[in-house]
Amino acid sequence: MKKFVLLLIFLVSTSASAGTLVELGGTYMSDNLSTSEAKKSSKYFYNVGVLFSLKKHIWGGWNYSGISHTDSGDEELSFSSQDTGPYLKWQFGRNELYSLGAAYNILSRASFKSGSDTETWQGTSFWLQFAVAPEVREGFHIGASLNYYLASYTKKTVDNVESSTSNSKSWIFPMLMLTKEW
């Protein structure tokens, strides 16, 4: 892991003079169903990426993202995760209108709560993004993206007891985003 971090720092420092891109994105969804049994659901996702120019229109860097889902009804279920890992982005089209991004989050830490039971999960996640973001000012893009998130968890901790597990979380969602390029 230390070698990977040192390699990443080297790549970032050598390419930092070529260009920097900062990306922010987020989505929030809420749903209420009123029947004899009320149901509520809320979901959000956010990301912050710092990328450096590797080649023309190709960026590489680091991503930090968070996700949360809460469903309530008979029993409350909640899931939240913070993920971080390397991030690649390719911009294409006239004025870099389109982009494809992929992040492999080498660390994904989640909390899952069902009723009064709480578990902590650890694993990895993968996030894909297709975005359409027109340039509104030089180097500044605002737009929307379609995203796919998949996390796989191999460790779980309950009451300070760690064990193996095979849990996963996936979600397809839209997101608003903005990028600034220097």
CATH of the domain at 156: 2.40.160.20
Which phi and psi (to 5°) does residue 13 adopt?
Answer: -70, -35
| Domain residue limits at 23 | 2-181
- Whether 16 and 8 have beta carbons less than 8 Å apart is answered as no
Strands (E), 13-114: 20-33, 39-55, 58-72, 77-92, 98-114
3's enclosing H/E stretch is helix 2-15
What is the residue whose two structure tokens read 């971080």?
84
- Distance (Å, whole) CA 49 – CA 21: 8
DSSP for residue 93: S
CB count within 10 Å of CB 13 equals 10
In tens digits, the chain (182 residues) has pLDDT values of 555 554 555 555 554 456 999 999 999 999 988 877 778 999 999 999 999 999 989 999 999 999 999 998 778 899 999 999 999 999 999 989 999 999 999 999 999 999 888 999 999 999 999 999 999 999 899 999 999 999 999 999 998 888 998 999 999 999 999 999 99
Overall number of domains in the chain: 1
Which candidate, 53, 66, 67, places its Cα nearest to that of 16?
53
What type of residue is 141? H
Q: Residue 88 has what pLDDT?
A: 98
Query: Which tokens is 89 given?
Result: 């982005």
Whole-number Å distance between alpha carbons of 148 and 171: 6
What the block records as the tokens of 88 is: 């690649």
Half-sphere exposure at residue 161, Cβ-oriented, CA atoms within 13 angstroms: 2
Note the pLDDT of residue 15. Answer: 47
User: Which has the closest alpha carbon to 92: 54, 132, 60?
Assistant: 132
